[in-house]
Amino acid sequence: MITKNISKKNLINFLIIFIIFFLDRISKFIVIYLADKDNNSELFLSKFLNIQLIWNDGIAFGLLSLNKDKSYDILTLFISFIIVIIFFMMTKSEGLKRYSFLMILGGAIGNVFDRIFNKSVPDFLDFHVGNFHWFIFNAADIFISIGVFFVILSELFANKNKNDKKI
């Protein structure tokens, strides 16, 4: 039936996306639950890591935070469009690059889910050294960042190999 038409490769791809989405959802659920239960957004404070819930209505790392509903909806629609483009790029990729796109997709779908249903994305991981704090982020952002890093890396090596073959 329909499962015969789904290849093993596609099944693995969707499973990877689902696992990343699930890990993101469960981490956000736990942090939101604990923050609501204790009525405190500061859940864990240490020398280098704070777990502190904030609601991000912008894009990556709080950039482009918008207060207007229409602007927010347009940004969410634009991000959804980018996800579709990344999906098609993933279908045309192989190896490390494909898995990189899968990480980006899983994380992006997790964040778009929050944008649609919560009107903002819960961020809670705050790494810092002394008074220098990096942007607060979540599990989806980790997968997106790792995926982007490996896409760039695979492109650099692919271009290097193409240049080496020309010589």
pLDDT tens digits for 68-126? 667 778 888 998 999 999 999 999 999 999 999 999 999 999 999 999 999 899 999 99
User: Residue 23 corresponds to which tokens in the numbers above?
Assistant: 């890990």
What's the CA gap between 158 and 59, in Å, rounded?
A: 29
164 is catalytic: no
What's the CA gap between 128 and 133, in Å, rounded?
A: 4
The one catalytic residue among 38, 123, 126, 164: 123
What's the CA gap between 17 and 156, in Å, rounded?
A: 25
What's the CA gap between 56 and 126, in Å, rounded?
A: 13
The one catalytic residue among 24, 114, 126, 141: 141
- pTM: predicted TM-score of the whole model, two decimal places: 0.83
CA 88 to chain CA centroid, nearest Å: 17
114 is catalytic: no
